[in-house]
Structures are given as C-alpha cells and as structure tokens.
Chain A
C-alpha cells in the first residue's frame, strides 16, 4: 500500500489509475501546475480547478484511489502579476472543497522578482485559511538559489508553522537546509531533471526517514506514474527494512497530509457521472 503525494493525474490516462491501483496506490495528491502552455484567462484556471476538485476525484474513485488536490497559480504562469492576482482571488473558494488539502504547488521557476512576490502572496492566503502548503523548488541550476529564496521568504513571512510546509523536489544540495528549518522534504523520482530512486535512497540513508517522502510528479512530460512502487522495490534490494519502506511511502505522507482534515486513504464510493 502506498501514497503518491505529488502526481498530475489530469495529464495521465485512466490506464495509469488502473496500473497504480494494481501496484497498491490508495491515495494521491495533485498540485495545480503548468499545463505546458500559458492559460489565456483566469476562466481557464477556474475550469482547471473544477477539474481538480470534481472530475478527477471521481475518475480516481473508480479505481479505489482517494484523490486530493492543491490550488494555486503555478510559478511558470506567475510572471504577470495582475493576472496572477486575478487567479489567486479564486483560491479561497476552492480551499473549502472536500478534496482540497491546501495551497500548492507554489514556488519559484526562474527566480524572478514577480514570481517571488506571487509566492509571498500565496503564503498569506495559506496563513489566512490555515492551509497546508506544498512548494515547488526550481529546476536544475535554479534550484539552489530558489530554495534559499523560498526558505528566506517563509521565514520573513513567519505566519505558517514549518511543520505544515512540504518543500518538494529536494536533491542532495537542498535537502539539509529544508529539514533543518523544520519543514518536510519531498524527493521527486522524475527522469533526467530530478532524482533517481537510487539517489533518493542515498538521501534517505544520509538524512534519515523523518519528515521526508518520495513522489513521482508524473505529468505530461517523460515521467513514470509507478515511480514510487518501483522505488519501493529498489529499497528492498538495497536491504532496507519493511518498516522504513512503509514509512517513506505511506506513513510519512499520511502524517503530513492528515494535518488537513480533508485527507483520507479511503476513496469515496464510485459514482456514475
């Protein structure tokens, strides 16, 4: 039994739900993200948020998977500050939906001033609504700088308990600074641009199993929705105990996500739409 706490199921076919269910997935959480193109209106985001909170949970429930969502305007579409504010004004209404866990995946992309301002405004929304926060750290050469900017912004804002913040896509050079500040760290098993299972297991061996999880971030790009159960297999081959494996792939995600009263590992009864 496992949880994939970061996967973009809107970009996956139903066959993936079937495979994930067969592999033991009982729950997923899906952050709002960039669709591969810039949406042309706030109404586009409204429709996307409806997809995350209405149709996607029903699609998941047909396979016994509990689907949860996070809401935000992602950093790649945050460069137009006025447009971002228009989208952010819609967030509070969706935070009350039954499957919504909080604000995410907010963060930075190229580490621009406007991206940072939008990130800070999202933190304020999360604080006002006592929401959990899921954070995207930038890709590749931008990750170190962006993680530092993000952590400094969180410290300056100061209104959110670090234990209610998950900083995702950590790698060897950023994991320690996240854990040292009392936040949770996500290791993303994504080809080429993020972590491999082998390196994620190395990171776990070096930094322990507290406040750390693994996820696939499977999306419309070259990615694997079964990355988490495959990492479980790798952990067994590397000699790790069943307890540690279960902790990384189930107990830790459940512990963090259960801080939202909306999280459950029990999928709702399937309905016919």
Chain B
C-alpha cells in the first residue's frame, strides 16, 4: 500500500471537515428514532432487544477505546459457536436475540 497501513492519508481536521455533516445527520436520525418510540403506544412492549442493542452500541460509540465499529458489530453478534438444528426463517434480525 502506498500509504502506511492504519494511517489515513488526510489529517484529523480535514476528516472532520469532510465527514462531520454526514455523521451529524446520522446521529439525528438515531435520536429521532428513539424519540419516535417514546411517543408510540407501548402495547405492553416496554423494551425490545433491538432497541437495547442500539443503546448498548451508543455506549460503545462514546467510549475512548479504539475499534468502536468492530466492537459494536461484535456486541450485536450471535456468540454461539454450533450450527443450529434448522434455519428459523430466511432473514437475520440485526441483533442477537438472547435465548
């Protein structure tokens, strides 16, 4: 690679200039989503494992340790190691549902 592995070619200030507005918009979308859930009738559903997964991910995103994206993906992942007996549908859910 022509630039050293691990080092972006651009400095931090330039990356902020390039990426801030988009990141800002994405954070607003997440905040608005959580607000929307607060406004919606609960219908006996006080929490959902997927929303819990988002809240856990936000805590990781805010901490000072590196590899936040990797740690968030790991936090959402199924930690089991053995294949399941039968496929339970076609689609994944986005976060691991604790059994």
Q: Which residues of A contact B (CB under 8 A)?
A: 34, 76, 79, 109-116, 138-145, 148-149, 171-173, 198-199, 202, 204-210, 237-241, 243-244
Contact = CB atoms under 8 A, between A and B. Distances in A.
Contacts of A204: 1
A198 B78 contact: no
Chain B at the A interface: SS class? loop
A172 B74 CA distance: 9
Contact of A172 (B9, B14, B67, B81): B67
Given A79-B87, A173-B77, A207 B5 contact: yes
Interface stretch (B35-43, B57-65, B91-99): B91-99
A21 to B, nearest CB: 29
Interface residues of B, number: 37
A142 B77 CA distance: 6
B77 A206 contact: no
A244 B3 contact: yes
B51 interface: no
Given A113-B85, A172-B73, A140 B92 contact: yes
B84 A112 contact: yes
B5 A208 contact: yes
B86 A79 contact: yes
Nearest to A243: B2
Nearest to A175: B70
Contacts of B73: 143-144, 171-173
27 contacts: A109-B87, A110-B88, A111-B78, A113-B83, A140-B92, A140-B93, A140-B95, A141-B77, A143-B77, A144-B73, A144-B74, A145-B80, A149-B83, A171-B73, A172-B67, A205-B5, A205-B6, A206-B5, A207-B5, A208-B1, A238-B8, A238-B9, A238-B10, A239-B9, A239-B14, A243-B2, A244-B3
